[in-house]
Amino acid sequence: MFFQTSKRTAAIGHQLVRDALQELGPRGLAENDFSLTLLVHDRSGEGLPEGFAHRGDVMFYPCSIIKIFYLAAAQAALDAGQIEGTPELDRAMHDMIKWSSNTATNYIIDLITGTTGDTDLDAETMRIWRERRYGINTYFESLGLPELVGINVSQKLMDDDRYGREKAFVQFGGNNHNRLTSSAAASMLARIMTGKMVSPARSKVMADLLQRPRTPEFLQTPSAQVLNYLGQAMPEDASIWSKAGWTGWTRDPQASYRRHDVIHVDSPGAAPFTLAVFTQGQRISADMGMLPYIGARTAALLAR
């Protein structure tokens, strides 16, 4: 387990879930389409955080939350000398995280796996191509982290349906979409924020990209991922780092109608915390107030 339990954190977590379902249930939040993982950190950085998970091991289509994992895979490849750092790669990592660019994400996936996408391939070439793309999964499997068992981070990010080899790949074995749990997302962000992902220096690079300033200029930028997400209602003096994901109708039912966020919050005089929330369903995915409510309620319960 990547967190330890405590009576206080368990009580906060259960209260948070009850409050969320009571407030948001009438608006479309269903218990079996909702997961949440909360980690409360000691400022010393020693030991495991205290934690709570509600359905934290249930796999969801993760939307753009997966981009944190591609960022970590790229930093690991740079650290190992498997790819070369370039201004274009730096630009792609920035745009993938800050503005959630799918085009930048797919550029990074091609770079670290040595693959390209789209057109159909014959069976043997497709087999080789598939093994290379699965190399991202192999990297995360090599970390030996139980909370990452069973995740899939091998698919590109699309604005609608897929074609050619990408369509065949996502249907391989029935459903080969990307998949994550709220616990996997919370663990990855927490590892980055505590300097434990790849290396302290690489973790800092990632954390700097994930930071969400709440200046008027940033908040008004499209795709800033603060307004309508967990960070919207956090304390004014809090620093936040996050990555959100959302889909409406994509013409692929297995990837449609999701709204997720994972955030790390550090407020003066309070324990830092990491929170991941995954939801699915047509009504709740369109609810702009759902994640701000859960974020505000988490901060309030932790402040007691």
Domain boundaries, the chain: 7-302
pLDDT of residue 297: 98
pLDDT of residue 296: 97
Place 33 in a pLDDT band, splitting at 50, 70 and 90: very high
Place 142 in a pLDDT band, splitting at 50, 70 and 90: very high
Q: What percent of the chain has pLDDT over 90?
A: 96
pLDDT of residue 269: 87
Average pLDDT over residues 99-108: 97
Average pLDDT over residues 185-211: 98
Average pLDDT over residues 207-229: 95
pLDDT of residue 148: 98
Q: Which long-range contacts (CB under 8 A, 24 or more apart) does 48-51 make?
A: 48/1, 48/2, 48/3, 48/4, 49/3, 49/4, 49/190, 49/274, 50/3, 50/4, 50/5, 50/6, 50/8, 50/9, 51/2, 51/3, 51/4, 51/5, 51/9, 51/186
pLDDT for residue 44 is more than 90? no
> Please, what is the end-to-end C-alpha distance for the chain in angstroms?
26
Between CA 13 and CA 236 the distance in angstroms is: 23
pTM confidence score: 0.97
pLDDT of residue 25: 98
pLDDT for residue 139 is more than 90? yes
Q: What digits encode the pLDDT tens for the residues 4-15?
A: 999 999 999 999
pLDDT for residue 271 is more than 90? yes
Burial class, 222, CB count within 10 angstroms (exposed 0-12 / middle 13-18 / buried 19+): exposed
Helix (H, G, I), strand (E, B) or coil at 228: coil
pLDDT of residue 114: 96
Query: What mean pLDDT, rounded, does the chain reach?
Result: 96
Between CA 82 and CA 76 the distance in angstroms is: 9
Place 285 in a pLDDT band, splitting at 50, 70 and 90: very high
Place 43 in a pLDDT band, splitting at 50, 70 and 90: confident
Q: What percent of the chain has pLDDT over 70?
A: 100
pLDDT for residue 1 is more than 90? no
pLDDT for residue 234 is more than 90? yes
Q: CATH topology for 7-302? A: Beta-lactamase (3.40.710)
Q: What digits encode the pLDDT tens for the residues 78-97?
A: 999 999 999 999 999 999 99
pLDDT of residue 304: 81
Place 257 in a pLDDT band, splitting at 50, 70 and 90: very high
pLDDT for residue 46 is more than 80? no
Place 227 in a pLDDT band, splitting at 50, 70 and 90: very high
